[in-house]
């Protein structure tokens, strides 16, 4: 038999000794060390990025989108002046929102939770104010701007939230528009403490007061009654901050939100951040006085900062700013 294994001189001496390099590749401890090394490298790389990749805990789809963009916030904030940080941290203590309730339950929810189940327009006006009200007084500011028709035609909202209502000029205008467009079920929630602002009665002396209690809410309600839109409009006579947060806790969301309450930066910033959480996917938020100088362009600075942080685009329509969610 011609067996090369037996005849080979090497075969008689046993297998050849591999060189040091070759022997290391054949050794199991080498591969074990390699494995451990890659594990540690991977672990430390992942840990250093963990703040931006942590999964968001959210209550609904749109909130997840917000949480995701909040990730961007953290990155962006580091480039902002430090005095902005507190504003953003303040907003992070906002209460949890629940999943949106169905649209057709929103009126009932508000009536039950705010008015004990009755309409605030029942038996209006109460006798002690009846003689102090004007039949109709709808002074506003840009309250009939083209933006209202544009957005109502575009969004065809079922729920509108107005943040800052005063006498109801823009609310009544929106109610009229929705009816003209056949949106008979649209509900407009008007958030305003109906206090106006310190000294506002110098300009609005016809709005009476009883022992310092100004009758702005009553005159607003009278305007709604006179305009025959009580089915479309519901007042929420509280501060904007507490009301927007509470609506989120009640699962009340909106298709269209108008921001027109306090115009200095802190107020506008707080309202915009809280209101945005209530927007449904595809909803639109807009507001007045984007160009106003009076409050050192507080509205404009708040809108622009918000859009920058969340990667959204600000459009303008007349004196109004507009932000689409999609």
Contacts with ligand SAM by CB under 6 A lie at: 140-141, 143, 164-166, 169-170, 192-196, 239-240, 260-262, 267
Tokens, residue 22: 């070759």
Which position has the token pair 């022997």?
23
* Cβ partners under 8 Å of residue 211, min gap 6: none
Give bridge partners of residue 114 from the DSSP assignment.
none
Q: Which is nearer to ligand SAM, 125 or 196 (CB)?
A: 196
DSSP reduced 3-state for 190: strand
Quick one: how far is CA 259 from the chain centroid? 11
Q: Residue 134 to residues 9, 172, 261: CA-CA distances in angstroms?
A: 121, 16, 23
Beta bridge partners of 160: 188, 256
Query: Residues, the chain, total?
Result: 326
Question: Cβ closer to ligand SAM: 143 or 178?
Answer: 143
Nearest distance, CB of residue 58 and ligand SAM, angstroms: 27
CA distance from start to end of the chain: 83
Closest CA to 280 of 311, 256, 301: 256
- C-beta closer to ligand SAM: residue 103 or 143: 143
- Minimal distance in Å, beta carbon 167 to ligand SAM? 6
Closest approach of Cβ 139 to ligand SAM, in Å? 8
Distance CA 271, CA 141 (A): 19
* b/e per residue 122-150 (b: at least 16 CB within 10 A): eebbeeebeebbeeebbebebbbbebbeb
Least distance CB 190 / ligand SAM (angstroms): 9
Distance, CA of 295 to CA of 292 (rounded, Å): 7
Least separation in angstroms between residue 115's CB and ligand SAM is 18
Greatest Cα-to-Cα distance within the chain, rounded to the nearest angstrom = 128
Report the nearest approach of ligand SAM to the CB of residue 186 (Å).
Answer: 17
Shortest separation between residue 243's beta carbon and ligand SAM, angstroms: 8
Q: Which is nearer to ligand SAM, 63 or 232 (CB)?
A: 232
Nearer to ligand SAM, 106 or 261 (CB): 261
| Identity of the residue, 50 or 203, whose beta carbon is nearer to ligand SAM in the bound complex | 203
Q: Residue number with the shortest CB distance to ligand SAM?
A: 140
- Tell the smallest beta-carbon distance from residue 168 to ligand SAM (Å): 7
> Closer CB to ligand SAM, residue 194 or residue 269?
194
Smaller CB distance to ligand SAM: residue 241 or 283? 241
CA dist., res. 89 & res. 51, Å (int) = 16
Residue 251's nearest CA partner among 289, 272, 277, 287 is 277
Shortest gap between Cβ of 268 and ligand SAM (angstroms)?
10
CA distance 206 to 184: 33
Q: Which is nearer to ligand SAM, 115 or 238 (CB)?
A: 238
């Amino acid at each position: 038999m011609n067996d090369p294994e037996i005849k080979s001189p090497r075969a008689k001496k046993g297998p050849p000794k591999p060189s040091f390099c070759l022997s290391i590749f054949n050794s199991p401890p080498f591969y074990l060390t390699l494995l451990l090394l890659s594990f540690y490298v991977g672990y430390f790389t992942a840990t250093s990025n963990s703040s931006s990749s942590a999964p968001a805990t959210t209550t609904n789809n749109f909130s997840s989108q917000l949480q995701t963009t909040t990730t961007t916030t953290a990155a962006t904030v580091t480039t902002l002046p430090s005095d902005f940080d507190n504003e953003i941290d303040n907003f992070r203590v906002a209460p949890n929102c629940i999943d949106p309730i169905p649209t057709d339950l929103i009126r009932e929810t508000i009536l039950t939770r705010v008015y004990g189940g009755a309409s605030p327009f029942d038996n209006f006006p109460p006798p002690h104010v009846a003689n102090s009200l004007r039949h109709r007084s709808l002074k506003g500011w840009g309250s009939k701007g083209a933006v209202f028709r544009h957005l109502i035609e575009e969004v065809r909202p079922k729920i509108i939230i107005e943040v800052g209502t005063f006498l109801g000029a823009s609310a009544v205008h929106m109610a009229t528009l929705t009816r003209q467009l056949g949106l008979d079920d649209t509900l407009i929630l008007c958030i305003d403490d109906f206090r106006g602002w310190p000294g506002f009665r110098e300009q609005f002396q016809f709005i009476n007061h009883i022992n310092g209690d100004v009758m702005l809410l009553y005159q607003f309600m009278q305007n709604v009654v006179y305009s025959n839109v009580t089915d479309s409009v519901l007042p929420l006579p509280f501060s904007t901050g507490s009301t927007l947060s509470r609506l989120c806790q009640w699962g009340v969301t909106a298709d269209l939100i108008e921001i027109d309450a306090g115009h200095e930066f802190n107020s506008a910033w707080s309202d915009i951040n809280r209101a945005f959480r209530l927007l449904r996917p595809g909803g639109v938020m807009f507001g007045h006085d984007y160009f106003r100088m009076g409050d050192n362009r507080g509205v404009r600075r708040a809108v622009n900062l918000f859009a920058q942080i969340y990667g959204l685009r600000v459009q303008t329509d007349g004196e109004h700013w507009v932000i689409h969610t999609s």
